[in-house]
Structure 1
Amino acid sequence: MLASFGASIAMMVPLSYGIAVRISELAPGHEEVLGYITGTAQLIYLLISPMVGIWSDRMRSGLGRRTPFIFLGTGIGLAGLVVMGLAPDLLIVGAGWVLGMAGWSISGAAIQNLMADKLPDQQRGRVSALTSLMTQIAPVLGIGVAYAVSSNTLLVFVVPGLIGAVLLALLPIIKPEGSSKDIALTSRVTAKSVVASYGFNIRKYPDFAWNWLGRFVFFIGLYFNTTFGTFFYAQRLDLPVREVAGVVATIGMLGVVAAAAGALLGGFLSDKLKRRRLFVMIAALLFAGGALVEASAWSLPQLIIGAVLMQSAIAVFATVDQAIIFAILPNRNETGRYMAVVAFAQKIPSAVAPLIASLVITIGATGAQKNYTLLYLAGAVLALLGGAVIALKVKAVR
């Protein structure tokens, strides 16, 4: 839980606040650049993630298969945050986020791989719930930390990164993974196997394929409705971008209770009832409802209601769908590889959705007023569609 919190706070504070601050400093009025920076970084990590997964599966060391990647990702992520905080122009900010995105994603993936390696089926829902809860709380508290040091741009990036690094390091120190030196390698890595690792046999693993598709569509809707959060709140509340951190933190703190309830209820109840797909559909409906509220919101109370609904929905979906994934992995000897393929269903949307969203907000826009109403409505439809695909088509899990 602490390690998940650390990876999330280090990644989400720059993504949800820090990059927007740098854009407002270096290129005010060009908020569409946020989509280009985040989309590009996600696309680059997307291309390297299967190779990282293969490397993780084949890692033989005294620290284990996953632990070296916790440390590797943390080092790369910290370096990226320092670059972003000191960057003199947006090109360097973008380069820094390529490092930051890759580093913290590698650390987060290592934690998920550990969970897939070690968790028994009857604990997958509840542990997914607890780690999901941490990823919900971390950005909210992280925004508060960033706001407290907002007078110093470098600290906005570095302080959450250092908190993340310490918490990530605690996991292998307190609970060592164990040596992987004696684990036999089942196959050789060839150019063909590397290329093949970017995909899987859809006909052989239909449940995995349908879950991947539903997750993909849901996350496009999610990123439509979260990427421009800082600019969205600034427009709807008529506030300067730098002052939005307090609003984001306040809304986030109120949403934490709903997210906690969603994650814990979804995880624990899905374990107890042995039903996962029902909760995925509930999450999609909640998210769509929250997005509709946000689309029409021009006051703080409305924004709070919409955000609370969406945060609770994201928590339920992330918790239960992760438990589904752990149950339907095609090959547990290649957990890292297949978890990287699963990550495509989130990383491709996080790369593509901001780029598309940057265009959507300009449709029918008047002057500096971007069309966030259309963006949030589109996100609602996509999230609902993604949940329906998983609920109706994944058959191996109830």
Structure 2
Amino acid sequence: MRFIFAFAFAYAGFWIACLMPGVVTLALKVQSLVAPDAAAGALSLIAGIGVVFPLVVMPVVGRLSDRTTARIGMRRPYLLVGAASVIVLGIVMALAPTVPVLLVAYGFYGVAANFIGTPLLAVISDRVPVEQRGVVSGLVGLTLPVAMIGGTFVIQLVASSMLLMFLLPPIIAALAVIVFISLVQDRRLSKEAPKPQLSIREIASSFWVNPRRHPDFAWAWFSRLLFVIAFGFLTTYQAFYLLNHLGSRPEEVPQQIFFATLALSTTTIVTSMVGGKLSDFLRRRKAFVLTSAAIYGIALIIASLVTGFNGFLFAMGIAGIGYGAFLAVDLALVTDVLPDKENAGKDMAVFNMSSTLANAVAPAIAPFILILSGSSYSVLFLVAGAVAIAGGIAILPVRSVR
């Protein structure tokens, strides 16, 4: 029970630190630095760099943590470095005098946040028995909506201070890390354990898991990629959907997004835990992944067809059912098919690259869909639903897990 509390708190802290700049504070900071007509372009550039930096660094951090022989453990050194760094970089972002300074600071901030997130996921393979991974993975899915609601609430309390808006989320993450390392014993690697030399080739291999040698891992990676692309269509274009498809007034949109997020988050929290427990009890993963992806995809299709906001709220409630269960059981499944249990940090980092890539791919693809469909957000959400369902189907070729 102590591990479950500490892990959930730490991962929620990671999400708060990771998400809050992109959700709220970056846009406000950019608006204070550039002219209104240049704000959108500057924000897109900064957000893009924020994706690229962690994409490059995450697998290397995972690889290094698998090989660390520090007395305090394999994962703790990286958690502590990440916790300290996000605080420092949060201050730099708040005080950044120009867009280039903000861009560089945010890029390194994303790296620092993943010094927390990547080792935490590796702890699941280190400490959690296979028959309990569904429950713990359910906690991971639960922490995202909790962090979204809690982080936004905290930032609203200090909305008059740019410094506090940037600083409080990383402070929460740092406190969560301290609680975690205080309550959870870290795995230690013996200095005498055989380890290959860290060469350029070894570092390059941190970004790659051979899909021919490890097809189950590859299919799980591809399944998550498709699912998160579908989710990216929703989160990136939700405001434009409300304005252009449902005809909402601009002043209504912020409140409508809050209610939609609340509807999705409420059902996500429930199904994250229930789905994980049922998966452990029935000793089945694939059926849950397929079903939850299908539910999420159907919800997006419903959203593409409704003509009023109440219908959209209904669709988001259904989407949360699929979203929570998918993320919970999908993560449990991938920990069961890791290619090398001794290099869990590296392999989990490679798996997380699927989500990072998806967050870059979705905004890149969506404009083409909108151009071809005559700016129809109904078509965009139909495509998103089909992509989510395809993500569930992609898990069926996995053979080593039922």
TM-score by shorter chain over 0.5:
yes
Seen in structure 2, the aligned counterparts of structure 1 residues 141 and 204 have a Cα distance that, compared at 3 Å, is same
Whether the aligned pair in 1 keeps the contact of 2:267 and 2:320 (CA below 8 Å) is yes
- Tell me, in whole angstroms, the C-alpha distance in 1 between the residues paired with 2:376 and 2:164: 32
**Residue in 2 that maps onto 1:389:** 394
Alignment of 1:290-369 (within 5 A): 290-296=299-305, 299-357=308-366
Match for residue 239 of structure 1 among 244, 250, 254: 250
Alignment of 1:1-398 (within 5 A): 1-25=8-32, 26-28=34-36, 31=40, 34-177=43-186, 179-182=188-191, 184-229=193-238, 237-239=248-250, 244=254, 247-296=256-305, 299-357=308-366, 372-390=377-395, 392-398=396-402
Seen in structure 2, the aligned counterparts of structure 1 residues 356 and 76 have a Cα distance that, compared at 3 Å, is farther
Q: Give the TM-score normalised by structure 1.
A: 0.88
CA-to-aligned-CA distance 1:137-162 (integer Å, 9 cap, x gap): 11112112222322333322222222
- Tell me, in whole angstroms, the C-alpha distance in 2 between the residues paired with 1:375 and 1:93: 32
CA-to-aligned-CA distance 1:86-115 (integer Å, 9 cap, x gap): 334444333232122211122011110111
- Tell me, in whole angstroms, the C-alpha distance in 1 between the residues paired with 2:13 and 2:137: 16
Seen in structure 2, the aligned counterparts of structure 1 residues 31 and 281 have a Cα distance that, compared at 3 Å, is farther
Seen in structure 2, the aligned counterparts of structure 1 residues 161 and 299 have a Cα distance that, compared at 3 Å, is farther
Seen in structure 2, the aligned counterparts of structure 1 residues 255 and 123 have a Cα distance that, compared at 3 Å, is same
**Which amino acid counterpart does residue 388 of structure 2 have in structure 1?**
A
- Tell me, in whole angstroms, the C-alpha distance in 1 between the residues paired with 2:276 and 2:195: 34
5+ residue gaps, structure 2, are 1-7
- Tell me, in whole angstroms, the C-alpha distance in 2 between the residues paired with 1:113 and 1:187: 20
Whether the aligned pair in 2 keeps the contact of 1:39 and 1:354 (CA below 8 Å) is no
- Tell me, in whole angstroms, the C-alpha distance in 2 between the residues paired with 1:135 and 1:17: 16
Shift of residue 363 of structure 1? 6.4
- Tell me, in whole angstroms, the C-alpha distance in 2 between the residues paired with 1:166 and 1:18: 21
CA-to-aligned-CA distance 1:174-223 (integer Å, 9 cap, x gap): 22315434461332222222222221222221111111122222222222
Q: Is the partner of 1:116 in helix, strand or coil?
A: helix
- Tell me, in whole angstroms, the C-alpha distance in 2 between the residues paired with 1:33 and 1:306: 33
Whether the aligned pair in 2 keeps the contact of 1:290 and 1:309 (CA below 8 Å) is yes
Seen in structure 2, the aligned counterparts of structure 1 residues 152 and 191 have a Cα distance that, compared at 3 Å, is same
Seen in structure 2, the aligned counterparts of structure 1 residues 342 and 34 have a Cα distance that, compared at 3 Å, is same
- Tell me, in whole angstroms, the C-alpha distance in 2 between the residues paired with 1:86 and 1:394: 49
Q: Is the partner of 2:235 in helix, strand or coil?
A: coil
Whether the aligned pair in 2 keeps the contact of 1:50 and 1:340 (CA below 8 Å) is yes
Whether the aligned pair in 2 keeps the contact of 1:143 and 1:249 (CA below 8 Å) is no
- Percent sequence identity over matched residues? 26
Q: Is the partner of 2:339 in helix, strand or coil?
A: coil
Whether the aligned pair in 1 keeps the contact of 2:53 and 2:108 (CA below 8 Å) is no
- Tell me, in whole angstroms, the C-alpha distance in 1 between the residues paired with 2:71 and 2:319: 42
Residues paired across the two proteins, number:
391
Shift of residue 61 of structure 1? 0.8
Shift of residue 11 of structure 1? 1.2
Q: Is the partner of 1:202 in helix, strand or coil?
A: coil
Whether the aligned pair in 1 keeps the contact of 2:299 and 2:319 (CA below 8 Å) is yes
Seen in structure 2, the aligned counterparts of structure 1 residues 224 and 251 have a Cα distance that, compared at 3 Å, is closer
Q: Give the TM-score normalised by structure 2.
A: 0.87
Whether the aligned pair in 2 keeps the contact of 1:65 and 1:180 (CA below 8 Å) is yes
- Tell me, in whole angstroms, the C-alpha distance in 2 between the residues paired with 1:89 and 1:247: 33
- Tell me, in whole angstroms, the C-alpha distance in 2 between the residues paired with 1:33 and 1:309: 35
Seen in structure 2, the aligned counterparts of structure 1 residues 389 and 56 have a Cα distance that, compared at 3 Å, is same
**Which amino acid counterpart does residue 10 of structure 2 have in structure 1?**
A
